[in-house]
Amino acid sequence: MNTENIIKTLIVKKPLKLDCGKTINEFPIAYETYGSLNEKKDNAILVFHALTGDQFVTGQNPITKKDGWWSYAVGPDKAIDTKKYFIICANVMGGCMGSFGPSHEDPNTGTAFGANFPVITINDMVNAQYNLLDHFGIDKLFSIAGGSMGGMQVLQFISNFPDKAKTVIPIACTSSHSAQNIAFNELGRQAIAADSNWKGGDYSSKDTIPNKGLAVARMAAHITYLSKKGLQEKFGRKLQEREDLKFGFDADFQIESYLRYQGSVFVDRFDANSYLYITRAMDYFDLAKQYKGNLSDAFRATRAKFFIISFTSDWLYPTQENKDIVIALNSIGADVGFVEIESDKGHDSFLLDVPDFLSALKNFLDKSYTEN
């Protein structure tokens, strides 16, 4: 497949100093846009994707042929209305959909970077994506929005560039990765490293792929995106195409079969090293630490209007962690709204058809835009 024509890429000429100390030059940022930028250039929304997302927010993803990851929220007349707004989304640095990542060729060796790719951070990701504003000649974004790791990028972006967005929408996220978050990510990374095909990260030159490890990583992570109630209602103890237990280790239960399927389709579209690097970036994320332990200081310079959204059944980034951001903002008198949406769909709620969430998102954006 010739992906060159499908993936739009900005080659960033300006050197970027990464948190790890290395400086990178002439690196690619792959992006996609939806809707059109108006003459005043005041209708742009920068959307940030989560761990396994990419720049293809809505419509059919031209690479995977599946629906874009935020198809419920983004589109004509939807919450983030493509008739009204110009939506930009970039593949994060470290990703595997065209942006600078571990599968890129290392000019020094002529083979993929693999584990020689620099360890990147959420801060590096947003600094790289900031170049898209210059590229489109946008002085100030109307909004920045994202869920999960996308929400972390939203928080980092507004703290790095306090006057570059009018409205700020972090969804189902945290300002600091918790021990539990790190633990689940480590589980995923260890599953990949335990796959003999991983080869210390150098699998592409050895023509192998650590599919099994990556699939297990995805299976474990997938459980954390759902809720106990949601799983129980959808699967319970239902058996998979069989009348009774088989007294073996095949997928007797539907939940097993479902997870195996989720793992198997994931490896077709995602790179194992990208998974390692991006989860590491999430684990390193601690916005308060960047401001000597005072999260409020991250937002002191901005006059943007915040709207924070969490979900009742999200146990990966629970309401309290989202509320901590609200508290930090209120303690400096920032303009912040907050709602916890009732949903039994777990952390994944922000990606799904959850009407209360979608209407809150739409109302906030549209009302804020009219007041512009």
Partner 1 sequence: MKNEFQVIAELIEKDKKVLDVGCGDGILMEFLKNNKNTNIRGLEISKSKVQECIAKGLTVIEGNAEKDLKQFPDKSFEYVVLSQTLQAFLNPELVINELLRVGKKAIVTIPNFGYWRVRLHLLIKGTMPITKTLPDEWYNTPNIHMCSIKDFFYFAKSRKIKIFKSLALSNQNVSIINDSNLTIKNFFADLGIFLIEK
> Which residues would be at the binding site for partner 1 (CB under 8 A)?
305, 307, 326-327, 330-333, 335-342, 356, 359-360, 363-364, 367-368, 370-371
Question: Which distant-in-sequence residues (6+ apart) come within 8 Å of 131 by Cβ?
Answer: 10, 12, 14, 29
47 pairs with which residues across the strands? 89, 145
Q: Given 148, 310, 313, 343, which residue is catalytic?
A: 148
CB of 50 to partner 1, least distance (A): 23
237 vs 340: CA distance, rounded Å: 30
Instruction: Give me the sign of the Cα torsion angle 212, 193, 254, 229.
Output: negative
CB of 218 to partner 1, least distance (A): 32
For residue 273, CA distances in Å to 218, 220, 247, 276 come to 13, 17, 36, 5
221 vs 235: CA distance, rounded Å: 18
Q: Given 252, 271, 283, 314, which residue is catalytic?
A: 314
Q: Beta 141-147 vs 44-48: how paired, if at all?
A: parallel
Enter the tokens of residue 282.
């999430």
Question: 49 or 166: whose CB is closer to partner 1?
Answer: 166
CB of 38 to partner 1, least distance (A): 21
CB of 290 to partner 1, least distance (A): 21
Question: 277 or 369: whose CB is closer to partner 1?
Answer: 369
Question: 3 or 359: whose CB is closer to partner 1?
Answer: 359
Residue 160 CB-density burial (10 A; 0-12 exposed, 13-18 middle, 19+ buried) = middle
CB of 342 to partner 1, least distance (A): 6
307 pairs with which residues across the strands? 337
252 vs 248: CA distance, rounded Å: 8
For residue 196, CA distances in Å to 34, 192, 200, 206, 271 come to 41, 9, 9, 12, 16
Question: 36 or 331: whose CB is closer to partner 1?
Answer: 331
Enter the tokens of residue 365.
């954006």
6 vs 2: CA distance, rounded Å: 8
CB of 320 to partner 1, least distance (A): 12
Enter the tokens of residue 153.
């990028």
Question: 183 or 327: whose CB is closer to partner 1?
Answer: 327
Question: 103 or 330: whose CB is closer to partner 1?
Answer: 330
Is 347 a known active-site residue? yes
CB of 335 to partner 1, least distance (A): 6
Q: Given 99, 252, 347, 349, which residue is catalytic?
A: 347
Question: 280 or 305: whose CB is closer to partner 1?
Answer: 305
Cβ–Cβ under 8 Å, residues 31 and 8: yes
311 vs 309: CA distance, rounded Å: 7
Is 148 a known active-site residue? yes
Is 195 a known active-site residue? no
SS3 30: strand
83 pairs with which residues across the strands? none
Question: 15 or 355: whose CB is closer to partner 1?
Answer: 355
Enter the tokens of residue 222.
């997938």
Query: 90: part of which helix (H) or strand (E)?
Result: strand 86-90
CB of 122 to partner 1, least distance (A): 25
Give the active site residues. 148, 314, 347
